Amino acid sequence: MPKCLVLDLDGTISDSLPDIAGALNRSLARHGKAALPLEQVRPMVGDGVGVLFQRGYAARGLVPSDQDMAEGLADYTAHSTDETYLYPGALEALRALKAAGWHLAVCTNKPGEAARILLDHLGVLPLLDAVGAGDSFAVRKPDPDHIRLTLHAAGATLEEAVMIGDHHNDVAAGKGAGLPTIFAAWGYGPAEVGKTADAVATRFADVPGLCAELRP
């Protein structure tokens, strides 16, 4: 079976924070509330759009309705590529892994439509063997079954896989599935998360070498 790198999306492959915060703040503006600064939104990211809106609205003393979340998701999907960019070295590293025979899969709590639009825009989608999104299965990170099901869709096994992400959900899901884990230090998660991972990547160019060390 091929080796496989499972990647988180937001904060790992791309800096999506400006567009995520933009959708949240436009939604808050419809209720006459002031925008949240990027640094306040940053720790809210990682558990899916619904949880993000709950946290963002709570910061302004509100509770989002189902309509708020549906409209917010539609707005984000329509604007998910406005200011989001690929982290430096990401495409080169992923191409190097593909050339070395690795499969690649994304496991994200972002809804599937928005994830695929973004990955296609970034030029990453053609490199992927599977996308396990937040609405692809009945579970999502930190549930390790999100990793297992994504790997199955990619035609890979747990015994040959590595997980990389910037969030505690990524490391927890990877470890729960029995995978060696890499913490993406450039992302949104605090440095403390790196202490629970098997390796820390400080730049994307580190990733192919770490994968080779973790799955020789």
Mean pLDDT of the chain: 97
Domain boundaries, the chain: 4-15+85-214, 17-79
Q: Do domains 4-15+85-214 and 17-79 have the same CATH topology?
A: no
Q: How far apart (Å, rounded) are the C-alpha atoms in residues 25 and 21?
A: 6
> Known catalytic residue: 19?
no
How confident is the model over 166-190, as a mean pLDDT?
A: 97
Task: Tell me, rounded to whole angstroms, the distance of Cα 108 from its chain centroid.
Answer: 4
Distances (CA, A) of 83 to 15, 17, 95: 9, 9, 23
With pLDDT > 70 as the criterion, what percentage of the chain qualifies? 100
Which pLDDT belongs to residue 49? 86
- Residue 95 reports pLDDT greater than 90: yes
76-91 mean pLDDT? 96
pLDDT at res. 170: 98
Across the range 114-130, mean pLDDT stands at 97
Write phi, then psi, for 202 (nearest 5 degrees): -95, -15
Q: Which whole number is the average pLDDT over 82-105?
A: 98
Confidence of residue 203 (pLDDT cuts 50, 70, 90): very high
In this prediction, residue 209 carries a pLDDT of 98
For domain 17-79, the question of CATH label 1.20.1090.10 is answered with no
* Extended strands (E) in 80-180: 85-86, 103-107, 130-132, 161-165
pLDDT above 90 (res 48) = no
Which member of 8, 10, 15, 170 is catalytic?
Answer: 8
Question: Which one, of 205, 129, 165, 212, lies nearest residue 10 by Cα?
Answer: 165
Q: What's the CATH fold of domain 4-15+85-214?
A: Rossmann fold (3.40.50)
Using the predicted structure, report yes or no on whether residue 1 has a pLDDT greater than 90.
no
Write out pLDDT tens, residues 54-71: 999 999 999 999 999 999
Give the rounded distance of the alpha carbon of 149 from its chain centre.
16
Question: Which burial class, exposed, middle or buried, applies to 11 when counting CB atoms under 10 A from its CB (0-12, 13-18, 19+)?
Answer: buried
pLDDT at 143 over 90: yes
